[in-house]
Amino acid sequence: MDNSQKFIDLREKYKTFLYNSFEIKEDEKEIYIKFEFEIEGLKKFNPTIRILKKNMKIKKLNTDFVKKMVFHMGLIELISYWKATCSKNVIIKCGYINEEQISWFKKLYYYGLGELFYTNNIKVSIDEFMNIKCTGQENNSFAEESNLDGYIIPVGGGKDSIVTLEILKNMKRRALIVNPKPVTLKCAEIAGIENDNIIEVYRTIDKGIIELNSEGFINGHTPFSSMLAFLSYFIGYITGNKYIALSNESSANESNVEGEKINHQYSKTYEFENDFKQYTDKYLKTGVKYFSFLRPLTEIQIAKLVSKYEKYHKVFKSCNVGSKEKEWKWCCNCPKCLFVFTILSPFLYKDKLFNIFGEDLFEKKSLEKTFNELLGYGKTKPFECVGTYREVRYAASYVINKLEKENKKLPYLLEMYKDNYELSDLSYDITKEYNNENNLDEEQNELLRKEVFEDD
């Protein structure tokens, strides 16, 4: 069945999605959160979140305000379950948000699911895709006043967060890791963060949604970063940390489909970051500041910094395919691997880059289509967390120029690029740019600028 028709049929058959309840409990070792969602007439779901306490000092959790924050986390978590049927009516039974808040969440859902709608050929407007009604009680509680300090740095195991870890190494820091793996824990360890300052979170997806996916219900990308936003904001509040320092760069703002607002990284964009700041400042008011520390930079600038941090080179991994393996590795066949290889190439090609990946991805003919898409000569940019066409072209042109000056043979993909397209103008160094559209304060900007421009 065509997915666009499936969308229509499922919405007709399963008209209502329910956010029934949430709960938060704790014992000596952990904080436990559970949600209940329901596709009426089909299935109930109970995803969970566990936060290990370790030796952290935690605020009281049995307050109305803490419940208010957990309720908000559920408003994001529900997207992963609603998407199976895209039910037109969403009824929130365990809380209340006003019309302005409903509009805020609808915007996030709609653009955060833009890739899912595009890849499933679903054409629906922001006004039509969902109706939200609240039948629960309003919670007008406020946060306790407290002195906040220190940074929480979410660590995903890839190249971006290690830059944030390094530049903020002299600050009071904690690492936040969702579903820890050896790679993510090792990155935090190399950065000098002790185990008690690694906040371990275990997020469990209800198996029911996996069953529906296997049965052919609607499936696709959801804005996980928005879940991380509310989760990290909550953890910042209960642990007394002031800053949630994300590692999203300015390159995340570029759409995957030219001329359309369809972005795999929507919840990593500056637009979402600002929306989240405005929402939390108005409706949650904890004093916690959520922002991206690397927002002034592009992917190629981050790659330049990563090239200097050699202690991470054998550890960090950015491959989503390889992350599903027992031992996280570079698969060396996906858009993410090729992008990271390309963006690092001006600084590490060839031997050091080979030592990271285990092979020369520029020699792989099988990646020609992917390389064209990364360069901007395909129908769309790959639906992965990859940088801009401009950066990829610049990086490839830089390596071509370098190899030709050394009278060395070009690898297959770079030869293809040179033979078919115009190379970038290298007289302008794009690694010296700085995007002033960011939410860093003066001290944070100074730290970042010093690291980026220290060689000037």
Q: Quick one: pLDDT at residue 3?
A: 75
Confidence of residue 382 (pLDDT cuts 50, 70, 90): low
Report whether pLDDT(73) > 60: yes
The C-alpha angle with vertex 314 and arms to 184 and 382, in degrees rounded to 5, equals 70
Report whether pLDDT(114) > 90: no
Report whether pLDDT(259) > 70: no
* Angle between helix 299-308 and 335-348 (nearest 10): 60
Query: Mean pLDDT for the chain?
Result: 92
Confidence of residue 146 (pLDDT cuts 50, 70, 90): confident
Q: Quick one: pLDDT at residue 218?
A: 94
Q: What is the pLDDT of residues 154-163, one digit of tens each?
A: 999 889 999 9
Look up tokens 């698969």; give the residue. 331
For residues 240-268, b (16+ Cβ closer than 10 Å) or e, as one string? bbbbbbbbbbbbbbbbbbeeeebbbbbbb
Report whether pLDDT(244) > 90: yes
Report whether pLDDT(255) > 70: no
Q: Quick one: pLDDT at residue 316?
A: 92
Q: Quick one: pLDDT at residue 1?
A: 54
Segment 432-441 shows an average pLDDT of: 93
Report whether pLDDT(302) > 60: yes
Report whether pLDDT(456) > 60: no
Per-residue tokens: 219: 């499936």
Q: Quick one: pLDDT at residue 455?
A: 59
Segment 367-390 shows an average pLDDT of: 84
Q: Quick one: pLDDT at residue 337?
A: 94
Return the number of other C-beta atoms located less than 10 Å from residue 172's C-beta. Answer: 12
Report whether pLDDT(248) > 90: no
Yes or no: say if 100 and 27 are a contact pair by the CB < 8 Å rule.
no
Confidence of residue 4 (pLDDT cuts 50, 70, 90): confident
Q: Quick one: pLDDT at residue 232?
A: 97
Q: Quick one: pLDDT at residue 253?
A: 61
Segment 117-123 shows an average pLDDT of: 88
Confidence of residue 439 (pLDDT cuts 50, 70, 90): very high
Q: Quick one: pLDDT at residue 282?
A: 96
Rounded CA gap, 197 and 343, in Å? 31
SS (H, E, C) the chain: CCHHHHHHHHHHHCCEEEEEEEEEEECCCEEEEEEEEEECCCEEECCEEEEECCCCCCCCCCCHHHHHHHHHHHHHHCHHHHCCCCCCEEEECCCCCCHHHHHHHHHHHHHHCHHHHHHCCCCCCCCCCCEEEECCCCCCCCCCCCCCCCEEEECCCCHHHHHHHHHCCCCCEEEEEECCCHHHHHHHHHCCCCHHHEEEEEEECCHHHHHHHHCCCCCCCCCHHHHHHHHHHHHHHHHCCCEEEECCCHHHHCCCCCCCCCCCCHHHCHHHHHHHHHHHHHHCCCCCEEEECCCCCCHHHHHHHHHHCHHHCCCCCCCCCHHHCCCCCCCCCCHHHHHHHHHHHHHHCCHHHHHHHCCCHHHCHHHHHHHHHHHCCCCCCCCCCCCCHHHHHHHHHHHHHHHHHCCCCCCHHHHHHHHHCCCCCCCCCHHHCCCCCCCCCHHHHHHHHHHHCCCC
Q: Whole-prediction pTM value?
A: 0.93
Q: Which residue has the higher pLDDT, 203 or 220?
A: 203
Rounded CA gap, 446 and 168, in Å? 12
Look up tokens 């408003």; give the residue. 75
Rounded CA gap, 182 and 328, in Å? 8
Torsion over CA: 59, 63, 68, 73 (sign):
positive
How much of the chain, in percent, has pLDDT values that exceed 70? 95
Rounded CA gap, 90 and 37, in Å? 10
Q: Quick one: pLDDT at residue 118?
A: 85
- Give the chain's largest Cα–Cα span: 72
Segment 216-238 shows an average pLDDT of: 93
